[in-house]
Amino acid sequence: MNRLRTLCLQSFLTTLLLYANPEMAWAAASAPNILFIMADDLGFGDPACYGGTGVKTPSMDRLAKEGLRFTDAHATSATCTPSRYAFLTGEYPWRKAGTGVLPGDAALVIEPMQTTLATVLKQVGYRTGVVGKWHLGLGAKGGPDWNGHIRPGPSELGFDYSFLMPATGDRVPCVFVENQRVVGLDPNDPIRVSFGAPVGNEPTGKKNPEFLKLHPSHGHDQTIINGVSRIGYMTGGKAALWKDEDMADTFTARALRFIEESRGQRFFLYFASHDPHVPRLPHPRFVGTSSSGIRGDAIAEFDWCVGQLLNALDRLGLASNTLVVLTSDNGPVVDDGYRDGSVENLNGHKPAGYLRGGKYSNFEAGTRVPMLVRWPGRIKPGVSKALFSQVDFIASFAKLAGTQIKAGQAPDSLNALPALLGRDRKGRSSAVEHASTLSLRLGTWKYITSSNGPKQNTYTQTDYGNDAAGQIYDLSTDPSEGTNLVTKASDKRTLCKESLNKIVQQGRMPGNPAPRSEALK
């Protein structure tokens, strides 16, 4: 009897707490697991289901067949760090200083107080994990302590589990960090990292090209690790160094373990592949499998990882209750600093498809990326032309999980769940694109603010999309941004300019609630 009374009291108190403190709420009963797969530099034209001819992508094609294939989905930015910052925080990265492409020893750019996708989902009971490329910095001001417990990091941002490549494959340190400690570190061989003066006596690409199995085409000539010279200097940590060729297998194994161990608990897994970013060193079993050189082989490796994850969902009976999203952090690049034959071997494959530009570019291919969304029984398979921005995932997933974001947080994120689920085929009315300058998409119009930068990147051969006079394109008739209508469509230009100025000045996306502090004024 006493036990019964205690139980009743407990459940009464829990109910009371849930009402009094929304942070103790649980996800809506219908909320699915979320498997979020982010490729690195995968282009709009790369997957076969987007018209790519250079590599077979059966797993991505499967997602396209079983889910929604978006044709106008965007990363916020044309490079990695800003794009991932926006994806996790719901804030356009150009609002915050220090969110450009980070060196490998940068401090964490997201404040531990900031709301993130992981904190939102964790607070309603999701088990949250991140596996793969991070590139958002680690540790407090001054950078991470590679030889200790690295704090703050993913756990301070709401992730229960993390297994990271700290920055990029072409930047030191070349070690994995699991739950904020370097994996396999020998305390007698401490790690030192520098992006300024050299540290240690390790060979460098500049001085010792004879040790290289992959040669740089530009930059990337500092410490040599696994026969590849990188950006930055590193010494120590010999036992912990990764082998690039095994990276995809390592990430996949960790991701599968995370999914298996989450059984019975709702999960959010952010799987951030390194493929097909440079240096491209896929496992030997993928080398030569594509018809577009090593870049195609790296995409084949990525597609294999996707297949492993989808198979695991099937095997564990989780597929119908898991929302799968697959996208990329920015547009494609072919020569991004190593002489790996990618340019010579493209064989007619067009990484950006019919779009103009690529990674780093203000043109559409800078930010418009593949996006596949699958939730069996809940999303009708097909193609969606909805304009979508990755900055909207946080508000959309909050809605999906039946929770709310605190006022003032995720200021640029709008609930785009109806678009993700295929019920809204128009999507956003406007979205900001970010490369060397800001652009605005207003429906099918594309406005690029005037910018004096170079026209073309001499190494990557990408059109940057800089023009001092400003640019406006009508994508409904000119999807490849060939005809600048800056003089002819000056009314549209003015409209776009005013809309963009408003978004910039207001500090949040119009339609989003004012920050709490502002609302109280």
Residue 391 Cβ, how far from Ca ion at the closest point, in Å?
16
Cβ distance to ligand NG6 smaller for residue 146 or 338: 338
Token pair 């396209």 is at which residue? 64
Cβ distance to Ca ion smaller for residue 40 or 160: 40
Give which of ligand NG6, Ca ion, none residue 247 binds (C-beta under 5 to 8 Å, depending on kind): none
Cβ distance to ligand NG6 smaller for residue 351 or 479: 351
- Please provide residue 120's backbone torsions phi and psi, each rounded to the nearest 5 degrees: -60, -45
Binding status of residue 80 toward Ca ion by CB under 5 A: yes
Give which of ligand NG6, Ca ion, none residue 301 binds (C-beta under 5 to 8 Å, depending on kind): none
Residue 299 Cβ, how far from ligand NG6 at the closest point, in Å?
15
User: Which residue number has the CB closest to Ca ion?
Assistant: 80
Residue 41 Cβ, how far from Ca ion at the closest point, in Å?
4
Buried b (16+ CB within 10 A) or exposed e, 214-233: bebbeebbbbbbbebbbbbb
Give which of ligand NG6, Ca ion, none residue 336 binds (C-beta under 5 to 8 Å, depending on kind): ligand NG6
SS3 353: coil
Token pair 């250079």 is at which residue? 54
Cβ distance to ligand NG6 smaller for residue 160 or 329: 329
SS3 397: helix
List of long-range contacts for 204-208, beta carbons under 8 Å, 24+ apart? 204/229, 204/233, 205/229, 205/230
Using the rule CB under 5 A, give the single segment among 33-41, 105-113, 310-318, 499-507 that binds Ca ion.
33-41
Binding status of residue 431 toward Ca ion by CB under 5 A: no
Residue 31 Cβ, how far from ligand NG6 at the closest point, in Å?
31
From 67, 152, 82, 93, select the one nearest 379 (Cα to Cα).
67
Binding status of residue 272 toward Ca ion by CB under 5 A: no
Cβ distance to ligand NG6 smaller for residue 327 or 409: 327
Using the rule CB under 5 A, give the single segment among 6-14, 52-60, 75-83, 215-223 that binds Ca ion.
75-83
Binding status of residue 40 toward Ca ion by CB under 5 A: yes
Binding status of residue 330 toward Ca ion by CB under 5 A: yes
Residue 171 Cβ, how far from ligand NG6 at the closest point, in Å?
7
State how far the Cα of 148 lies from the Cα of 244, in Å rounded to an integer: 24
Residue 78 Cβ, how far from Ca ion at the closest point, in Å?
9
Binding status of residue 41 toward Ca ion by CB under 5 A: yes
Cβ distance to Ca ion smaller for residue 123 or 436: 436
Binding status of residue 329 toward Ca ion by CB under 5 A: yes
Cβ distance to ligand NG6 smaller for residue 195 or 211: 195
Give which of Ca ion, ligand NG6, none residue 323 binds (C-beta under 5 to 8 Å, depending on kind): none
Cβ distance to ligand NG6 smaller for residue 278 or 400: 278
- Please provide residue 171's backbone torsions phi and psi, each rounded to the nearest 5 degrees: -120, 140
In the structure, how many helices (H) and strands (E) does the chain have? 10, 19
Alpha carbon distances (Å) from 470 to 307, 308, 440, 488 = 43, 45, 12, 13
Count CA atoms within 13 Å of residue 357 on its CB side. Answer: 25
**DSSP per-residue codes, 58-106:** HHHHHHHHHSEEEEEEE-SBSSHHHHHHHHHHSS-GGGSTT-SSPPTTP
- Which pair of structure tokens corresponds to residue 411? 């200021």
Site of interaction with ligand NG6 (CB under 6 A): 40-41, 79-80, 101, 135, 168, 170, 218-220, 231, 277-278, 330, 336-337
Strands 368-374 and 68-74: antiparallel
Question: Contact, 419 vs 427, CB < 8 A?
Answer: yes
Query: What residue ranges bind Ca ion (CB under 5 A)?
Result: 40-41, 80, 329-330
